[in-house]
Amino acid sequence: MKKILSAFLAVSMLFSLSAQNSPARRAYVDFVVIPSHSDAVYNLGDAAALKVVAQAGGKGLENVKIHFTAGPDRMPADTSGVTTFCNGEALVSFGTMTQPGFRYCKLSFEVEGESYREEMKVAFAPEQIQPTIANPADFDAFWAKTLKQAAKVPMEVEIVPLPEKSSDKVKVSMVKIQCYEKGNYVYGYLQEPNDGLKHPVMLHPPGAGVKRINPTPWFAQEGFITLTIGINGIPMDATDEEIKAKQVELNRGDYAYIGLESKEQYYYRKVYAALVRCIDFLVSLPNFDGVNVGVTGGSQGGALSIVAAALDPRIDFLASFYPALCDLSGYAYGNRAGGWPRMLAPGSKRELSVSVDQMFETLSYYDVLNFARRIKVPGFYSYGYNDNTCPPTSVCAAINQVTAPKVIEITPSSAHWRFNETNVRANAWMRAQCK
């Protein structure tokens, strides 16, 4: 009897411990920040405010202080204050703007020794944001000359099938393409629907960084022959040591500062020219449907998508997500954010190799905003207000210059990332562009 009782107590204790150790299914402190205008868009002169709703263990916070700072997009704060939760809610009023742009609010509060933080930006007349970057009179002539010279360089393509990265639906190959000048190569992955049919082609340029890129088979699964490229001359089978050496070679990854001395020497010249060579390659494929050519990417890839569509009339449509390299001179104009890589941003300690005037003269030939002015094909553009990498002020300034048909998908709460729902809508839009 004692043995039975002991066993019963042991089992009971086991269940009790199991119940006590059951992990919580939600955070103890849960909060949401909601702008007073549901779309986070305000007219000039409107007072912006955020409603903060918070609870701890299901009970609304009471008498808990919220500290906040606020200011123009990516600028030092010009406002600060404290407010208090009452019945689980607090209202944070953080000022207005008299010029088109974006304003941020950073807030924090503490519960039982734990800190909770959030940042949110709202827009003021975003459709009125204008460029700061100059539009050179010889912009088109410079790029026509560049592409004419680059077209003389033989393509010299190497394609190596990669069965280990392929599937029954998608064939993946490693590609090497000579471009811009002899000995300069773009490396990437070619991904093809494995069905023997003809398909649209898609160029997929990368985000920023000197790094290894990976295949992106999902576009091929959607029916696009896709070329996913790197831009920094790194073979797809490069070792970690080779990539580290390339990072050192390319200004420790800050290649956007290489060659600012002149428009002829700037690093991105060969990158932009390579985009056209990649289209040369894609339209030469025997399984290209002969009609539909697209380009898509995010961040630096979003910038390069706009550039490619402006430079190459064979491109029929583009999808660009939070593009970098937009309105780069913004920070030179006081309380105004510029695009990645955020040259002259407050707090930047980078020493320039050229004068500020020379830098922006060079960059005016590469600023994505000036390519956006020249887009003539339909585009899908998407960004979020909370992006601190490619600030929305710079992105919006560029998109505002697009006069071609455009779909603008704004998700105010997103930052330098996007929701899968945005991807789904973008993919459906791109498929719908195909004839």
pLDDT class of 3 with cuts at 50, 70, 90: low
CB atoms within 10 A of CB 424: 10
For residues 114-136, average pLDDT: 99
User: Cα(first)–Cα(last) distance of the chain, in Å?
Assistant: 82
* Residue 246 reports pLDDT greater than 50: yes
**What is the predicted pLDDT for the residue at 11?**
46
* Residue 283 reports pLDDT greater than 60: yes
Tell the CATH superfamily of the 29-127 domain.
Immunoglobulins (2.60.40.10)
353 labelled catalytic: no
pLDDT class of 257 with cuts at 50, 70, 90: very high
300-311 and 268-283 helices cross at what angle (nearest 10)? 70
**What is the predicted pLDDT for the residue at 18?**
52
Report the relative pairing of strands 158-161 and 170-178 from DSSP bridges: antiparallel
**Could you report the per-residue pLDDT of 7-58, keeping only the tens digit for each?**
444 444 444 445 556 889 899 999 999 999 999 999 999 999 999 999 999 9
pLDDT averaged over every residue in the chain: 95
| Catalytic hit among 299, 320, 382, 394 | 299
**Could you report the per-residue pLDDT of 56-78, keeping only the tens digit for each?**
999 999 999 999 999 999 999 99
387 labelled catalytic: yes
Share of the chain above pLDDT 90, in %: 92
**Using an 8 Å Cβ cutoff, are 253 and 238 in contact?**
no
**Could you report the per-residue pLDDT of 150-204, keeping only the tens digit for each?**
999 999 999 999 999 999 999 999 999 999 999 999 999 999 999 999 999 999 9
**What is the predicted pLDDT for the residue at 9?**
45
| Catalytic hit among 173, 367, 387, 394 | 387
Q: Which residues contact 51 (CB under 8 A, 6 or more apart)?
A: 33, 34, 35, 36, 89, 90, 91, 92
Domain limits, the chain: 29-127, 139-433
67 labelled catalytic: no
Give the SS3 label for residue 261: coil
For the domain bounded by 139-433, which CATH number is listed? 3.40.50.1820
